[in-house]
Amino acid sequence: MTPSVRPSAKGHTLRRLIFFLLANLTTLIALGLLVSVFQSNGFSPMELLLLLLYTILIGWICMSFWTALMGFFTILFGRDRWAISHRQPATPPPDPAAPPPRTAILMPIYNEDSERVFAGLRAIHRSLAETGRLADFDFFILSDTRDPDVWVEEELRWQDMVRALDGKGRIFYRNRPENTDRKSGNLEDFCVRWGGRYRYMIVLDADSIMKGSTLVDMVRLMERHPDVALIQTPPVPVNRESLFARILQFAGSIYGRMFTAGLNYWQLGESNYWGHNAIIRVRPFLEHCGLPKLPGREPFGGAILSHDFVEAALLRRAGWEVWLAYDLEGSYEEIPPTLIDYAKRDRRWCQGNLQHLRLALAHGFNGLSRLHFSMGVMSYLASPLWLLFLLATGVEAFIQTRQETIYFFGDNWMPVWPVSFAVEMTTVLLVTLTMLFLPKLLALLLLLKDSRLRRGYGGMFAATLSVVLETVFSVLTAPVLMLFQTKFVLAILLRRAVGWPTQQRGDHMTSFKEAALAHGGHTLTGIVAGVLSYQYMPAFFWWFTPVLLGLLLSIPVSVLSSSIALGRKSRELGLFLTPEETDPPPVLCYLDENLREVDPVLPVLWDQPASRFVQALTDPYVNALHLSLLPESEPPGKRRRHYLEGLVHQLEEEGPDSLSATQKRDLISDPDTLLRLHALFWSRPPANAGMLP
C-alpha cells in the first residue's frame, strides 16, 4: 500500500524558503560582525578556528530562534490553515456509516515501576470510556522486562486491571522471551503478530498519559487524511514535584507550544517522530520501517537506538506524510526528577543520536530527513563545540595579553593607536544573547492574548518572575550539562557503548555524596579555569564568570534542585505553575487517584509476602497465571535441561537468594521446570520447604 503522492504545495515551499533564508541571513550577519574584528591583521589559525566554531554554533542558534519566532506569529495570529488539524483532506472523508477503525494502544515497558504503569493505563482507560469510543480501542502492555520479580508483578497487576475493568479480550499483556532490538523490536513484534487486526496503533511510553478525547481526535485526523502515516502530538511534562523537575515542567509548558508551532510552520508534512504519544498507520509502518543493523560494532554500529527519527524518515522516503499536531492538547509525559537523572537519560539518547551521523549520508533520504538527522546529532555535538569555542576564546585572549603594542614603527613620527573593536564584539555578544533569550520574552507576551493560559501560569507577575528564575537556573546548569554531554560524546567516540539501562522516574532526593561524585570534576574544572583566567587574562575572567559560577555551584545546585520540599514550597509561592497544575485535566486526576489507592490484594503466603519469584513457584494462583502467560516454545535441548536441573538443585540447597536475576528468570521461563518446582514445594510441609528463606 502506497499513498498517492501529491506535489508539494507552493505554500509549503514558500514557508521553507522564508525560514531558511532568514536563518542563513542572520547567521551571515552575525558572522560578518566577527570577521570584521579579526580581519584587520589577517587571520591567525586560532581566529580561523573561532570563526568556524562560531559559524556552526550561531547557525544552530539561528534555526532555534527563527523556529520560535515563526511559532510566536502562528499562535499570535490564530490557527494555522496548513496545520494537520485544519488542512483540507486530499480525498473525500470516509463514509460515516462505515464501521470505525480498530486502534491498538501500545505501552512498551522495560523493568519499569509497574504500579505507575498500570495506574496510568487505568487513567487513560477511564478517560477513553468517557468519550463513548472505548470499544474502538484495545490496550497492549508489551513487556521487555528482564527482572523476574517485576515480571510477575506486571502479570498480577495486568490480571487485576482486566478483572476490575472487565477488560477480557481488550487488555492484553505479553512478555517477550528476548528483548531483541529493544523498543523498536518490541513494536515490530507486535506488528507482525497482531498488526493485521488494527488500522492504527498509538505508541505510549511508560510515563505517558493521554486524554481519551485526544486519542479519539488522533484517529479522526488519520481517517480524514489517508496520505498520513504518523501524527506526533507534543507531550507536555507533568506530575513531578522536585524543584528541578518543576522548573523544567514550567519551561517545557510555556516555551514548548511556541517551538512546536514553529516546527510545524516549516516542517509541515515532513515532520519527525519522537518515539511516543503518537499515532501510526500500522500497514505502512510494517512495510517500510524495518530497521537494519548498522555495520560494525557499538556504539556506531549494531542496532539503531534512536529508532524514532529513522522510522519517520523511512515513512517519508516511501511517500507518506508525517505531521506534528502542535495544537492537539491532552498529551502528557513525566521527566527525570533530578539533574543527575536528566544527564543519565541524555547519556542513553546521545549514543542513539550520534549514530545518525551515518544515516544523514545514507542513500534515499530527502533533504529534510537528512536535516532531522543532523539536528539530532547537533543537539549533542553542540556541547563539545561550545566547550571548544570557550577554550579557543581563552587561548586567543591569552595570546592577545602577551602581545606588546607598538605605537611607532617605520618612518611614522606620529603614534599609531591600536584599533578598538569593542563595539563590534559587544554587538556580536548582544546578537547571540538576544537570539537565546528573546523567545522567553515572546512566550510571556503570548500570555497577554489568552486570559485562561495567563491564569494557568499563576498570573502575569508570577509567570514573569518564574521565567526570570528559570533563566537564572538555566544559566547555572548549562555549563554542567555542557561538560556532561561532552564527556558522553567523547566516551562514545572512544567506542564505549552505554546499552539501554532502566530509568529512575519517581521523585527522589540527590544525596550530597551522589552529587559530589557526579559533580566533583565540574567543581574542580571551575576552580582551575577560574584561577588561570583571573591570573593570566583578568579581562576575560569577568566575561567567563557565568560559566565558572555554574561549575562552582554544581554540587549545591544539584542537591537543592532535587528537593521535593523546595518544589512544593515554590508551588505554594505560585512559582513555576503550569495550567496542568492549576487546573488539572480529569485524566491526571484519575492517575493521582489510582496512585493513592491501596494496592490490590495480591496473593501472599503466610504472614509475610514472599518475593514475586518465590510466589510464582509456590502460590497456586500466581503459578497458574504465570504459566498461562508463558509463550509456546520448543522443549529445551539436553544442555539446557542440565543447566536448569543444576539451578533447581541450587535453589533447593542454597535458597533463592543464591540465584541471580537471570537464573531466576530462566527457571520461571520454562513451563516444565515451573510445574516441577511447584509440585516439589507442595509435596512437602511448608515448614520444611528449604527453598524459602
- At 87, which amino acid appears? R
pTM attached to this predicted model: 0.88
Q: What confidence score (pLDDT) does residue 299 get? A: 67
Q: Contacts from 590-598 at CB under 8 Å and sequence distance 24+?
A: 590/122, 590/123, 590/126, 590/127, 591/119, 591/120, 591/123, 591/209, 591/239, 594/118, 594/119, 594/120, 594/122, 594/123, 595/115, 595/116, 595/119
Q: What string of DSSP letters covers 92-108? A: PPPPTTSPPPPEEEEEE
Return d(Cα 207, Cα 506) in angstroms, integer. 10
Full strand arrangement of the beta sheet holding 236-237: 209-210, 331-333, 236-237
Domains and CATH numbers, the chain: 100-401+435-509+562-602 (3.90.550.10), 612-688 (no CATH)
Q: What confidence score (pLDDT) does residue 403 get? A: 61
Cβ atoms 277, 325 nearer than 8 A: no
Q: What confidence score (pLDDT) does residue 421 get? A: 43
User: 320 to each of 214, 307, 679, how far by Cα in Å?
Assistant: 22, 17, 55
Could you state, in chain order, the average pLDDT of each consecutive group of 10 residues for the chain (693 residues)?
48 86 92 76 78 90 94 88 77 70 95 93 96 95 94 95 93 91 87 92 95 95 93 94 95 94 92 94 91 74 81 92 93 93 84 82 85 90 90 78 51 44 62 88 92 93 96 94 91 68 67 92 93 83 87 95 94 95 95 80 48 90 93 85 91 88 93 91 61 47
Question: Any idea which residue has 510515563 for its cell?
Answer: 207
Burial class (CB in 10 A: 0-12, 13-18, 19+), 92: exposed
The verdict on whether omega for the bond into residue 299 sits within 30 degrees of 0, i.e. cis, is yes
How many H-runs (helices) and E-runs (strands) does the chain carry? 26, 10
Residue 379 C-alpha cell reads as 543537539
Q: What confidence score (pLDDT) does residue 70 get? A: 95
Q: What is the 3-state secondary structure (H, E, C) of 358-379?
A: HHCCCCCCCHHHHHHHHHHHHH
Q: Residue 270, SS3?
A: strand
Q: What is the DSSP letter of 302?
A: B
Cβ atoms 143, 109 nearer than 8 A: yes
Q: What confidence score (pLDDT) does residue 537 get? A: 79
Q: What confidence score (pLDDT) does residue 688 get? A: 47
Supply the Cα-derived Rg of the chain in whole angstroms. 29
